[in-house]
Amino acid sequence: MSKGIYIRRKPSWNKEKTFEEMYGIEKAKQLKEKISKNNRKRYTRGERFGFQIGHSDFVTKEGRKRQALKMIGNLYGWQKGKVSNRKGVKLSIETKDKISKNNWTRKPGAKEKLSKIAKELWKNPEHARKCLSISLPSSLEKKTEYLLKNELKLKYEYTGNGTFLIQRKCPDFVNFDQKKIIEVYGDYWHLRPENRLSDSKRINIFKEHGYSVLIIWGSEFKDINSLKRKILNFENKAISEF
């Protein structure tokens, strides 16, 4: 066929015709039963693993992918409400050793290697900002933000989501006009001895860059009026007074 020439084909003889019109009622019934039986055989495996026979998902590629994921979920038991068929199965010592040997994260020096990789990645400000951007404010941070903006009407911005970093450290709230930072600490985590050193280093970094820092503890929200006075006193002080 030469380029640009279109040959109109004759329409198919059975176009828009039913089985009954083509083969008659009796033969059409037999053909339908045969097709239905073949389809049941075809989807027996899919039915076993949770495929929905005749579902519209089978028409598109994305739909078939969804059904395949559902099949895998049913097979391995990680779908919501499903219990794994491997639950309660005891593994032999040889199998456990084989799994342990193949898991490189359990090998000597693996933790140090992972820690080194994470620290190297964290040196990149864009990577740090990207990691922090997906974090949501804690309940204490939400209370503090409401207190600062709605009740005290102060010009503090929430920067705990990585919008502002000082030497890869992310302060909770910043007043850029006065160069002031408010950190919100939960008592359970930040009163631990192993965390106090890192917290003090963090605050020193902020101060070295000319910021004054106020720490608000979670327990201080029990006396909201006292907390308001603490914040307002902090606002009236200059950096040199710290």
**DSSP-derived pairing of the beta strands 157-158 and 173-175:** antiparallel
Tens digit of pLDDT for each residue in 61-95?
Answer: 676 666 666 665 555 445 555 555 666 778 888 88
Tens digit of pLDDT for each residue in 200-242?
Answer: 999 999 999 999 999 999 999 999 999 999 999 998 854 434 3
Q: Domains plus CATH for the chain?
A: 19-76 (no CATH), 103-134 (no CATH), 137-241 (3.40.960.10)
Interval 24-43 mean pLDDT = 78
Q: Which of 3-12, 69-78, 119-128, 176-185 has the highest mean pLDDT?
A: 176-185
Helix, strand, or coil here: 175?
strand
Contacts with 173 (C-beta within 8 Å, 6 or more apart), sequence order: 144, 145, 148, 156, 157, 158, 159, 160, 181, 182, 183, 184
pTM of the predicted structure, to 2 decimals: 0.51
Which one has a higher pLDDT value, 119 or 191?
191
